[in-house]
Amino acid sequence: MQSLRQFVISTLPRAVTGRYLSTTAALNMPIKEGDKLPDVDLFEGNPHNKVSTQALFGKGKSVIFAVPGAFTPTCSEKHAPGYIQNFAQLKEKGVQTVACIAVNDPFVMDAWGKSMGAETKVRMLADTAAAFTKKIDMAIDLTEILGGVRSRRYAMVVEDGVVKSIQAEPDNTGLACSAATDVMKLL
């Protein structure tokens, strides 16, 4: 019986030679304290307004929180409102930027932010293709309930582009560690 490696090598064109490496999702590790944020373009307000994560979070202290989807119950009733309501306290603790990231389109994120009064407080950023979410290994397949890959629920404190602390929700539905009040204790 032929091994999987032998089968793969035997089916490759003869001109391809060398050592073959493969990676799997199992080898990926979620972003952690001390890691630098990847530089990815997100969108704010519309598809023509790109915002680089490096430009936005590269200097100063920022709080980033992510939600599985705009206009969903926990996200709209508890998670995002907590950051909007506690914006002044976050600023008092030296936070320059508060941003919400979701795998949604920029129009939805803009409308959601306006519906909650986030305009001058929380930057509502669309990770349209989940590029940022995948690079930090926070993607979750919610196809059955939200139509595709979305972000896990988390919050992180970033200073000068480096993750200082991160809190990811274990079940993605509640707010056990990523609420604004939890993050304020980390500042």
43: left (phi over 0), alpha (psi -120 to 50) or beta: beta
Which of 156, 176, 175, 174 has its CA nearest to residue 166? 156
Show the tokens assigned to 149: 């890959």
Identify whether 75 is a catalytic site residue. yes
Residues 6+ apart with CB under 8 A from 136: 30, 31, 37, 38
- Which of 42, 75, 100, 118 is flagged as catalytic? 75
Residues annotated as catalytic are: 75
